[in-house]
């Protein structure tokens, strides 16, 4: 009975995901597409839960609910603000190869599905089992954290590089034009509502505690630097949206330091391990736990700040005046 | 008991799917955001039920993150300029 | 089925009923503000009942505390969201009439 | 059909929908959404694959997807910044809308 119901649930979930994906692409209204994409993220979190991947559900919750949605909505805002409706109807471009593309995408699906389903389930020792065997020898109990920061630490190091590059790119694109939106629109003429101060006051400490908890929980269960950083970044987005922090034309020394500290500490740890005659990022057993913890703290900060800067679209951030309605 | 929890989760998923009709119909942006809030609450309930079914206590943390960050989306939405939500893009 | 599991199942079904009524309200009510009202109230009551059911089923104090925290935060988020969305909706209405 | 097979199929269809959207929609923000759909398809595929053997949960694909999620959001942020720049410079956020057909 439970098995059948589980199957029904999965099938419904699959159907809903497909429906949402199709509607994101085909909806005539951009706003509807954005909302549906956010809902798609919610259902992806459920799918991760069904696939026994709580780490990913956590990351999806933190990034999907906190950052992606706000990023899309504020871009939408910038695209519609000050737009004078043109007298002629917007011309929708119809490509000549429309049908062919649909056909190709469908063909791609067929080939992908066929190829993927015909791969045999591996019978020998898989990479995961090797990692599980190695896990006994590492400092942290959680397999995914161990993979991220120990066995495949290169991935994480390079990911920090990508994040930094994205921020630099966004700054090159938008930074030269001054703050993204000098009109800090939260107030829009009406003044702040007192509710917002209460909201920010109540949520900020809770979100910071949650980030700390996730960082600490990463050693033995779902959590870790990524999720903690994303949750902190969501707090930054909330503060930015309510005018508690405002864009600044340039980043101070502290902010620049925070931007690179993740990569810096990681690289330094790698060089130290090299200097002591080990492989790059192969921590000595006695120091593995403190080193991983130190790297995780640095990574959390270096993940949170770039995401806030990407959202803000500016080179730096500064504390804003706190707004109180009379 | 597992079956009851899974059945409830399925029921909530069906509920969510029905609510998608409101996102489709609109008419205003506020309606769509209200529907998204409903989906957020439903997702939290489903996560709690699935955590019970599959014995994954980590999922309660996921639910916690969802409710902590639920307001970010609304705050981002209310910063949209007036009436822009209905404009076709 | 023991008393506790029976109680949990009952709470879940009750919670499901409130979710259903929230969805019906979202789909059937004629204007934005009444839809907002339906969703904010019914859903969070439904969520509370379902979380209570999970707590009864889990029968652990730590878990119950965590679930209570989740519910309180959900209520907090729902009331702020309802306030902000209603305010922005009224502002839009005013700018349309004016 | 087992659970991993179902999600592998979903992954393939979502990926294809993403490809179609990326190629055929003129609105740039929607193209970015389509690109994210493609990414989610790939993530789903990796994790569903890790689930085929029900006894062990392979942590390597999960860690890779976790890295991928962060990279996807940073790439999205960068792409949206470029769209905003384009809009500020040209007043358009779509391809081909201001050209003669």
Q: How confident is the model at residue A80 (pLDDT cuts 50, 70, 90)?
A: confident
Interface test with B, best of C60, C74, C97 (most B CBs within 10 A): C74
Percent of chain A with pLDDT over 70: 77
Taking residues A233-258, report their average pLDDT: 84
Q: How confident is the model at residue A142 (pLDDT cuts 50, 70, 90)?
A: confident
Q: Is a pLDDT exceeding 90 seen at residue D3?
A: no
Contacts of D99 (CB under 8 A, 6+ apart): none
Predicted pLDDT at A280? 73
Q: Is a pLDDT exceeding 60 seen at residue D77?
A: yes
Q: Decide: pTM greater than 0.95.
A: no
Neighboring chains of D (3 or more beta-carbon pairs < 8 A) = A
Record: contact D25-A25, CB cut-off 8 A: yes
Please spell the DSSP secondary structure of C26-91, one letter per residue.
HHH-SSHHHHHHHHHHHHHHHHHHHHHHHHHHHT-HHHHHHHHHHHHHHHHHHHHHHHHHHHHHHH
Alpha helices in chain A (DSSP H): 2-26, 30-50, 54-60, 69-80, 98-117, 127-135, 143-146, 153-174, 194-217, 225-241, 253-275, 288-312
Q: Are D47 and A56 in contact (CB under 8 A)?
A: yes
Residue with the bigger pLDDT between A311 and D59: it is A311
Taking residues D95-99, report their average pLDDT: 48
Q: How confident is the model at residue A324 (pLDDT cuts 50, 70, 90)?
A: very low
Task: Note the pLDDT tens digit of each residue in A21-58.
Answer: 999 988 888 888 999 999 999 999 999 998 888 888 99
Residue with the bigger pLDDT between A88 and A293: it is A293
Burial letters for C62-87: b for 16+ Cβ neighbours within 10 Å, e otherwise? ebbebbebbbebbbbbbebbbbbbbe
Task: Note the pLDDT tens digit of each residue in B6-62.
Answer: 888 999 999 999 989 888 887 888 888 889 889 999 999 999 999 988 888 888 989
Contacts of B64 (CB under 8 A, 6+ apart): A210, C66, C69, C70, C73
Q: What are phi and psi of C6, to 5 degrees?
A: -65, -45
User: A-chain residues within 8 Å CB-CB of C9?
Assistant: none
| Per-residue tokens: B78 | 């209310």
Cα–Cα nearest to C63, from B55, A206, B7: B55
Cα–Cα nearest to D64, from A302, A153, A133: A153
Taking residues A62-79, report their average pLDDT: 85
D101 touches chain A (CB under 8 A): yes
Predicted pLDDT at C32? 86
Per-residue pLDDT of chain C (98 residues; tens, 9 = 90+): 688 888 888 899 999 999 999 999 888 888 888 888 888 888 899 999 999 999 888 878 888 999 999 999 999 999 888 888 888 888 777 776 65
Predicted pLDDT at D98? 42
A vs B, Cβ pairs < 8 A, gives: 180
The rounded distance, in Å, linking the Cα atoms of A311 and C16 is 37
The rounded distance, in Å, linking the Cα atoms of A226 and A219 is 13
Taking residues A121-147, report their average pLDDT: 62
Averaged pLDDT score across all residues of chain A:
78
Task: Note the pLDDT tens digit of each residue in A278-287.
Answer: 777 777 777 7
The rounded distance, in Å, linking the Cα atoms of D5 and D14 is 14
User: B-chain residues within 8 Å CB-CB of A39?
Assistant: 20, 23, 36, 39
CA A44 remoteness from chain centre: 14
Q: Are C55 and B48 in contact (CB under 8 A)?
A: no
Record: contact C63-B77, CB cut-off 8 A: no
| Cα distance between the two ends of chain D | 47
Task: For residue A318, list its beta bridge partners.
Answer: A246
Task: Note the pLDDT tens digit of each residue in A155-168.
Answer: 788 888 888 898 88
Task: Note the pLDDT tens digit of each residue in D4-45.
Answer: 788 888 888 888 888 888 877 778 888 899 999 999 998 998
Q: How confident is the model at residue B63 (pLDDT cuts 50, 70, 90)?
A: very high
Out of A30, A98, A131, whose CB is closest to D24? A98
Contacts of A170 (CB under 8 A, 6+ apart): A309, A310, A313, D77, D78, D81
Predicted pLDDT at A179? 46
User: A-chain residues within 8 Å CB-CB of D14?
Assistant: 17-18, 21
Q: How confident is the model at residue A121 (pLDDT cuts 50, 70, 90)?
A: low
């Amino acid at each position: 009975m439970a098995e059948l119901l589980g199957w029904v649930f999965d099938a419904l979930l699959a159907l809903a995901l497909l429906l949402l994906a199709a509607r994101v692409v085909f909806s005539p209204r951009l706003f509807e597409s954005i909302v549906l994409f956010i809902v798609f993220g919610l259902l992806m979190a459920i799918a991760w839960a069904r696939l026994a991947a709580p780490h990913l559900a956590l990351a999806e919750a933190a990034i999907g609910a906190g950052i992606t949605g706000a990023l899309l909505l504020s871009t939408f805002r910038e695209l519609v603000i000050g737009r004078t409706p043109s007298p002629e109807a917007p011309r929708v471009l119809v490509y000549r190869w429309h049908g062919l593309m649909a056909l190709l995408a469908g063909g791609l699906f067929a080939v992908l599905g066929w190829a993927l389903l015909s791969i045999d389930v591996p019978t020998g020792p898989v990479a995961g089992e090797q990692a599980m065997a190695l896990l006994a020898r590492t400092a942290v109990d959680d397999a995914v954290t161990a993979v991220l920061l120990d066995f495949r630490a290169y991935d994480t190091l390079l990911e920090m590089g990508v994040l930094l590059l994205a921020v630099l790119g966004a700054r090159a694109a938008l930074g030269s034009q001054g703050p993204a939106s000098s009109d800090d629109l939260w107030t829009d003429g009406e003044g702040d509502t007192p509710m917002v101060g209460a909201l920010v006051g109540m949520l900020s400490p809770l979100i910071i505690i949650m980030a700390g908890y996730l960082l600490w929980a990463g050693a033995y269960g779902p959590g870790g630097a990524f999720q903690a950083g994303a949750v902190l970044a969501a707090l930054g987005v909330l503060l930015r949206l309510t005018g508690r922090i405002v864009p600044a034309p340039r980043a101070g020394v502290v902010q620049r330091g925070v931007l690179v500290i993740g990569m810096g500490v990681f690289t330094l740890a790698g060089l130290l391990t090299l200097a002591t005659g080990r492989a790059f990022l192969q921590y000595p057993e006695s120091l593995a736990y403190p080193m991983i913890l130190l790297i995780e703290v640095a990574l959390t900060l270096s993940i949170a700040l770039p995401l806030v800067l990407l959202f803000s679209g500016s080179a730096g951030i500064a504390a804003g005046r706190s707004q109180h309605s009379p | 008991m597992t079956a009851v929890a899974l059945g409830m989760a399925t029921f909530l998923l069906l509920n969510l799917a029905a609510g998608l009709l409101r996102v489709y119909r609109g008419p205003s942006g506020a309606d769509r955001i209200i529907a998204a809030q409903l989906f957020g609450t439903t997702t939290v309930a489903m996560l709690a039920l699935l955590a019970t079914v599959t014995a994954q206590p980590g999922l309660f943390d996921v639910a916690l993150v969802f409710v902590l960050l639920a307001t970010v989306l609304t705050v981002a939405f209310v910063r949209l300029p007036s009436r822009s939500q209905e404009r076709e893009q | 089925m023991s008393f506790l599991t029976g109680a949990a199942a009952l709470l879940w079904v009750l919670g499901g009923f409130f979710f259903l009524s929230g969805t019906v309200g979202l789909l059937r009510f004629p204007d934005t503000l009444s839809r907002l009202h339906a969703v904010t109230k019914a859903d969070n009551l439904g969520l509370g009942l379902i979380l209570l059911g999970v707590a009864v089923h889990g029968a652990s104090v730590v878990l119950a505390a965590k679930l209570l925290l989740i519910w309180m935060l959900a209520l907090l988020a729902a009331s702020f969201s309802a306030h902000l969305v209603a305010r922005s909706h009224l502002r839009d209405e005013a700018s349309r009439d004016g | 059909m087992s659970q991993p097979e179902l999600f592998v199929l979903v992954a393939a269809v979502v990926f294809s929908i993403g490809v179609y959207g990326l190629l055929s929609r003129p609105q740039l923000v929607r193209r970015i959404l389509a690109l994210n759909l493609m990414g989610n398809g790939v993530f789903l595929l990796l994790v569903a694959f890790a689930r085929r053997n029900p006894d062990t949960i392979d942590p390597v694909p999960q860690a890779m997807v976790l890295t991928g999620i962060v990279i996807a959001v940073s790439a999205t942020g960068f792409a949206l910044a470029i769209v905003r720049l384009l809009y500020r410079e040209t007043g358009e956020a779509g391809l081909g809308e201001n050209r003669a057909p």
